Amino acid sequence: MRNVYFNHDGSVDDLVSLLLLLQMKDVHLTGVGVVGADSYLEPALAASRKIIDRFGHGEQLDVAASDSRGVHPFPKEWRLDAFSLDALPILNEAGTVHAPVATQPAHLDLVAKVQATDGPTTLVMTGPLTDLARALESDPSIAKKIDRLYWMGGTFDGRGNVAEPEQDGTTEWNAYWDPEAVKTVWDSQIPIQMVGLESTRQVPLTPAIRQHWAQLRQHPAIDFIGQGYALVPALQHFETNSTYFLWDVLNTVASEFPDTVTTKQVMSDVLTTGPGRGRTFETPDGRPVTLVTQVDHDAFFQHIDDLAILADD
């Protein structure tokens, strides 16, 4: 079994990532941390607990709430989706919530779980890196016990997805939320595989994919995925700032099925000040990062189906 700790920020693809991690037969989830970045904390935390209850095959797992705050908050319209997700009937059929809330805040829960685990932990993160940066500041020795960080965030192609004043459009949102945290993690010894916007652009949410999930909705987990993605805009005629991609799910699937993606090694660093703050960029003086460059589109979506169907029993 691989020990995996998952830290996410409560958007649709974060919660679908949690559902998929719970289906991976060789993955032992040691903990889950939730940060109210691209969500509000309370519904994101509740939805996470309900997903564990409903789709977790009885796994005993608690969920830690983060008290991290970003430098640049996400748009409220996006954060509100967590309330709708948490209210979906499929997560509320039982009328009770069992998966406990961890006693410590997410960054300290991460430290505790990594230290309490025999052997290495793999980190999967699908939101800002703040909790990991704070964990490293609280106990730098965890770096030696983390064999790899799989992170959705950043981009190297100059085209960001933040449309806000006083920035230059080159940065990705998870990096922009807390640029200093990215720098702290980059300055650590933890090996990093990164899914940035250059690869997630190859997996937009489309009407055809929605239709595919609709036709498979007899499988409860695929029904949940279809309902979740119904809350966010698909790529129809042209890309807008609100167009949804399968950002986090690509990171999560790539962490389990490396053959789904092509990668290359880049030497990189991150800007923490100025209009490009949050921008990851290539530089010979930087640290190595394994960057996902290409996705096998059909294999990727097939893995989502295959994993979700495992939640049937």
Footprint on this chain of Ca ion (rule: CB under 5 A): 9, 11, 14, 126-127, 248
Site stretch for ligand AGV (CB under 6 A), options 88-96, 244-252, 262-270, 283-291? 244-252
Q: Does 242 bind ligand AGV (CB under 6 A)?
A: yes
Q: Select from 3, 23, 174, 255 the one that contacts ligand AGV (CB under 6 A).
A: 174
Q: Does 68 bind ligand AGV (CB under 6 A)?
A: no
Q: How many angstroms separate the CA atoms of 193 and 33, rounded? A: 19
Q: How many angstroms separate the CA atoms of 76 and 266, rounded? A: 34
Q: Which does 198 bind (CB under 5 to 8 A by kind): Ca ion, ligand AGV, none?
A: none
Q: Does 229 bind ligand AGV (CB under 6 A)?
A: no
The site that binds ligand AGV (CB under 6 A) totals a number of residues, namely 16
Q: Does 198 bind ligand AGV (CB under 6 A)?
A: no
Provide, rounded to whole angstroms, the least separation between the CB of residue 58 and ligand AGV: 27
Q: List, in order, residues 6 or more apart from 109 with CB less than 8 Å away.
A: 31, 33, 64, 102
Q: Which does 278 bind (CB under 5 to 8 A by kind): ligand AGV, Ca ion, none?
A: none
Is the Cα dihedral 16, 100, 151, 21 positive or negative? negative
Site stretch for ligand AGV (CB under 6 A), options 21-29, 43-51, 135-143, 243-251? 243-251
Q: Select from 30, 38, 52, 182 the one that contacts ligand AGV (CB under 6 A).
A: 38
Q: Which is nearer to Ca ion, 9 or 131 (CB)?
A: 9
Q: Which does 300 bind (CB under 5 to 8 A by kind): ligand AGV, Ca ion, none?
A: none
Q: Does 40 bind ligand AGV (CB under 6 A)?
A: no
Q: How many angstroms separate the CA atoms of 26 and 2, rounded? A: 6
Query: Cβ atoms within 10 A of the Cβ of 53, count?
Result: 18
Q: Which does 244 bind (CB under 5 to 8 A by kind): ligand AGV, Ca ion, none?
A: ligand AGV
Q: List, in order, residues 6 or more apart from 127 with CB less than 8 Å away.
A: 7, 8, 9, 10, 11, 14, 35, 37, 38, 153, 174, 177
Q: How many residues does the chain have?
A: 313
Q: Select from 172, 178, 256, 269 the one that contacts ligand AGV (CB under 6 A).
A: 172
Q: Select from 6, 14, 254, 278 the one that contacts ligand AGV (CB under 6 A).
A: 14
Residues in 100-159 at the binding interface with ligand AGV, rule: CB under 6 A: 126-127, 152
- C-alpha gyration radius of the chain: 18
**Token duo for residue 55:** 């789709």
Q: Where are the beta strands (DSSP E) in the chain?
A: 2-8, 27-34, 63-65, 121-125, 146-152, 192-195, 261-270, 280-282, 287-295
Q: Which is nearer to Ca ion, 112 or 253 (CB)?
A: 253
**Helix/strand/coil percentages in the chain, nearest 5:** 40, 20, 40
In the DSSP assignment, the letter for residue 169 is: S
Provide, rounded to whole angstroms, the least separation between the CB of residue 160 and ligand AGV: 9
Torsion of CA 70, 245, 269, 73, to 10 degrees: -10
**Interface contacts to ligand AGV, rule CB under 6 A:** 11, 13-14, 38, 78, 126-127, 152, 161, 172-174, 242, 244, 247-248
